[in-house]
């Protein structure tokens, strides 16, 4: 079917390498989550459209205070295991670059990469609605933040925590903590650096425009605090870029895509702060 939404560009030989490199770079740099620092990413082998992740339960260790009878061992324990299946979805963005004209290849690549990053971050924000939801009852958002951290710790999480503050709640959040009441953190990509708020109570905090009522489906979404074991993502081969000559368009089809999925592993290891009032 004919499509008139063509851009101008360069020929295939000059286009292919810059578009691939810039698109992948833009997608990785503009997503809070694709690098896998905040939410681990499982690589799914080719030929499969799902990833199976084991959710392992904890076990109690035995204290040995005396020698057992000869030939007798202390009791063995078996952790409970629950499997979660992550189903991949194909996310893609397509454009056509015509041979005629002077569209900047890097600009087009950045736009395509941003489209992939935005879609991934939107899907992850939607999944965060499955975390344990905590209704805000105090006027001070920071107090609710501390309460959420305490609840996650009380549930048995001892590992590092991350927090994503909604853009709508950013002003209120910063009013309570000021501009120098927190420490800095080592961050990985451009999205994490530009979205970084700081480290508060040992929690790495970021701001995101994708964590909102529309994406989560939760009224009054304020923030999400979670550990690496709360959510798990899956990809197959990362961001891909394909360029194909299209004679009817006098140019080249450029398609950026990623096979991606996200699933909640343990809702008790994360809390979604909301203020429905």
CATH code for position 212: 3.30.2320.10
Q: Residues 221, 252: one domain?
A: no
240 close to 3: Cβ distance less than 8 angstroms: no
Task: Give the pLDDT confidence of 16-26 residue by residue, as tens digits.
Answer: 456 667 777 78
Residue 263: CA atoms inside 13 Å, Cβ hemisphere, count?
Answer: 19
Q: Residues 47, 87: one domain?
A: yes
Lowest mean pLDDT among 7-16, 94-103, 220-229, 256-265: 7-16
151 close to 271: Cβ distance less than 8 angstroms: yes
pLDDT cut 90: percent of the chain above it: 31
Q: Residues 119, 16: one domain?
A: yes
Position 183 scores a pLDDT of 55
Cβ-in-10-Å burial (0-12, 13-18, 19+) of 177 comes to middle
Q: Residues 241, 152: one domain?
A: no
Q: Residues 100, 36: one domain?
A: yes
Please spell the DSSP secondary structure of 208-235, one letter per residue. Answer: ESSSSHHHH--TTEEEEEEETTTEEEEE
Total tally of structural domains belonging to the chain: 2
Q: Residues 45, 80: one domain?
A: yes
Asked whether residue 64 is domain-assigned, the answer is no
99: containing domain = 7-56+76-125+233-264
Q: Residues 95, 51: one domain?
A: yes
Best-predicted range by mean pLDDT among 54-63, 71-80, 163-172?
163-172
Q: Residues 252, 115: one domain?
A: yes
Would the pLDDT of 244 be above 90? no
Q: CATH number of the domain that 29 lies in?
A: 3.30.2400.10
Q: Residues 152, 226: one domain?
A: yes
Rounded to two decimals, the pTM is 0.80
Q: Residues 257, 181: one domain?
A: no
Asked whether residue 62 is domain-assigned, the answer is no
């Amino acid at each position: 079917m004919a499509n008139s939404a063509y851009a101008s560009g360069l020929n295939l030989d000059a286009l292919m390498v810059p578009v691939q490199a810039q698109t992948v770079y833009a997608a990785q740099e503009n997503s809070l989550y694709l690098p896998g620092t905040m939410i681990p990413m499982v690589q799914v082998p080719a030929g499969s459209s799902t990833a199976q992740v084991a959710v392992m339960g904890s076990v109690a260790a035995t204290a040995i205070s005396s020698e057992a009878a000869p030939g007798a061992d202390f009791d063995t324990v078996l952790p409970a295991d629950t499997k979660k299946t992550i189903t991949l979805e194909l996310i893609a963005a397509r454009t056509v670059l015509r041979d005629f004209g002077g569209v900047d290849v890097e600009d087009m690549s950045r736009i395509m990469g941003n489209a992939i990053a935005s879609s991934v971050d939107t899907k992850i924000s939607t999944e965060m609605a499955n975390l344990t939801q905590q209704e805000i009852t105090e006027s001070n958002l920071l107090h609710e933040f501390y309460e959420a951290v305490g609840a996650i710790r009380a549930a048995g999480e001892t590992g590092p925590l991350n927090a994503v503050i909604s853009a709508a709640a950013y002003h209120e959040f910063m009013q309570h903590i000021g501009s120098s009441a927190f420490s800095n953190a080592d961050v990985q990509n451009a999205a994490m650096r530009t979205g970084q708020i700081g480290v508060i109570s040992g929690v790495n905090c970021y701001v995101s425009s994708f964590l909102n009522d529309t994406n989560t489906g939760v009224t009054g979404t304020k923030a999400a605090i979670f550990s690496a074991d709360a959510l798990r993502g899956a990809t197959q081969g990362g961001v891909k870029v394909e360029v194909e000559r299209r004679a009817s368009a006098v140019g080249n089809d450029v398609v950026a895509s990623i096979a991606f999925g996200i699933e909640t592993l343990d809702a008790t290891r994360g809390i979604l702060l909301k203020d429905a009032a």
